[in-house]
Amino acid sequence: MQIIPNINEDIPLEEVRDPLLMKRNISLFIKREDFNHPQLSGNKWYKLKYNLKEAKRQGKYILLTFGGAYSNHIYATAAAGKIFNFQTIGIIRGEEHLPLNPTITFAKECGMQLYYLNRKDYRKKDSDELIARLKKDFGDFYLLPEGGTNELAVQGCVEIIANIEIKYDYICCPCGTGGTLAGLITGLKGKKFAMGFAALKNASFLKENVKSLLKTKNGNLFGNWDINLDYHFGGYARFNKQLIDFIDRFISLTGIQIEPIYTGKMLFGIYDLISKGYFRKGSKILAIHTGGLQGLNGLRNKIDTVRKEQR
């Protein structure tokens, strides 16, 4: 079994032509990782790549992982299982809701076995007790953490910035578990500056996550990075009219589709920091589009409702 999908390696870099940026003398480029694969898009393939190879090396063909009902990681793991002939088990936070949303429907169609865990027990997902129980129920599986983040995921995410030919001063990415940012920092080797934008509330723990991943992977914490905690819009998967209005304007201006969970929040944060003079004039910013567009299918009604809200 080869772990080599038909990944598009010719990822475009698109410059955002926006009068607001030109007025501040800031250049913004988007690395369109949403184009890399129809089902393993964005950062998900990079996180899965070396984990799938390691599962194969260990002779394990059951992948078990955790995620919420709209999780891009659940979606991608289910797709990878179908593509590479792994059995997949998704431990889903909360109770089953019918009809199934598009993310869970896709996962099930890919053959993923779904197991719902109440939120109290889900918080124990990293405990030895729960893992032992799951192994008793499902056999000898290869464990993928929630969000897919571990040392092998960091190794994969290093490759996101390989072969970038433009010069840039800052590189930015959304931050859910810290794995992608840790990979970018590792790839920079102490040069330039990496900034993550937390997609969830009360996310100061992400800084410790990244430090732990960097120490494990490199033995070096580096100092050229930070995580901004100010643009979560109330928490994971939450958003308001201000964010949706920004996204609508951005899509209309650029033609680049983004979503309000990860990439939309990052870009809002970048624009807001530009307006506040955070980036020095003449700066070149490279933002990573981490995919996740599949989640829009389950958010249409909520987005339309928010659009109609009065400020």
Q: Mapping DSSP to helix (H, G, I), strand (E, B) and coil, where does residue 149 land?
A: coil
Of the listed ranges 38-42, 171-175, 182-186, 265-269, the one predicted with least confidence:
38-42
234 phi, psi to nearest 5 deg: 105, -10
C-alpha closest to that of 231 among 197, 275, 278, 279 = 197
How sure is the predictor about 7, in pLDDT bands with cuts at 50, 70 and 90?
Answer: low
Give tens-digit pLDDT for 130-139: 999 999 999 9
Buried b (16+ CB within 10 A) or exposed e, 178-206: bbbbbbbbbbbeeebbbbbbbbbeebeeb
Domains and CATH numbers, the chain: 13-38+159-307 (3.40.50.1100), 44-148 (3.40.50.1100)
Of the listed ranges 2-16, 133-147, 168-182, 213-227, the one predicted with least confidence:
2-16
- Whole-number pLDDT of residue 179: 97
C-alpha closest to that of 55 among 91, 81, 90 = 81
Give tens-digit pLDDT for 212-264: 999 988 888 899 999 999 999 999 989 999 999 999 999 999 999 999 999 99
Give tens-digit pLDDT for 37-92: 989 999 999 999 999 999 999 999 999 999 999 999 999 999 999 999 999 999 99
Q: What HEC string does 47-115 produce?
A: HHHHHHHHHHHCCCCEEEEEECCCCHHHHHHHHHHHHHCCEEEEEEECCCCCCCCHHHHHHHHCCCEEE
Return d(Cα 247, Cα 73) in angstroms, integer.
23
Q: How many CB atoms lie within 10 A of CB 221?
A: 13
